[in-house]
Structure 1
Amino acid sequence: MDGNAVVLATAKASVGPGRMRDLLVAAASHLADRREAYRRRYEVVHDDDETLVFLVPEGHWADLGAELGTTDREADALRRAHEEHLRRLGSVHDRREEFEHALGIREAVVITTD
């Protein structure tokens, strides 16, 4: 996960850095176990040696947060971190506008490939 994306999401969601780190680790483990299910079900918008990025329906992070036992604020922080990661990828790969439009109607999920 992009470090700057995490810092920005942490600040916007008012979650402490230590808690954010714990949330990201828990979410990453949870999502890694479901990587192939995500591949079959959702659109992959970025795939490289480190991460897969999916677009999922709105409300997906609220549902994931419930599965992970997080508060609404913590689930929102995770959503923001994943969305910021996608925005940063959009800037790097000249796809920022495309990704911004997509995030207007869907949410992003980043899953590590290792």
Structure 2
Amino acid sequence: MLVAGAKASIPPERLPDLLTRAQADLGGRIQEYRRRYELVDETDEYAAFFVPTDHWDEVGERLELGRRETDALRRTHEEQLRRIGRCSERREEFDAALEIRQAAVIGL
């Protein structure tokens, strides 16, 4: 989370609020995500999806976020998916997919 925020030039203290806002938005749309996007991993705690490359721009507009805030969210979700990939031995698969898509990891 800290790495993603730093890369997007967001102070670390801003990230928890941004992630909470995004989770509230995405969590309310979980059924839509299940219908529209590829579910790549799921546990009792989260569902991880591959989403189109403009996904976080749309979320940022919906939440009225600036470019850096939107970028921090995108990077944080990508890093979370990479962590999931390392733990599940799917890192290469996820890294390759992130070259053409984005990630959304939604808490359940």
Name the amino acid aligned to 2:67.
D
Q: What is the aligned partner in structure 1 of residue 106 from structure 2? A: 111
Q: What is the aligned partner in structure 1 of residue 52 from structure 2? A: 57
1:69 alignment partner, one of 39, 64, 67: 64
TM-score by length of 1: 0.93
* 1:44 is the counterpart of 2:39: yes
1:10 alignment partner, one of 5, 9, 21: 5
RMSD: 0.6
| Cα distance in 1 for residues equivalent to 2:10 and 2:83 | 21
- State the SS of the aligned residue for 2:89: coil
- State the SS of the aligned residue for 1:58: coil
Q: Using the aligned pairs only, state the percent identity.
A: 51
| Cα distance in 2 for residues equivalent to 1:67 and 1:94 | 34
TM-score by length of 2: 0.98
- State the SS of the aligned residue for 2:51: strand
Deviation >2 Å, runs of 4+: none
Show CA shifts across 1:11-46 (max 9, x none): 111101121111000000000100011001100001
Q: What is the aligned partner in structure 2 of residue 3 from structure 1? A: none
Aligned residues: 108
Q: Deviation at 1:96? A: 0.3
Show CA shifts across 1:48-96 (max 9, x none): 1100000001011011100001001110000000000000111111000
Q: Unmatched 5+ residue regions in structure 2?
A: none
Q: Unmatched 5+ residue regions in structure 1?
A: 1-5
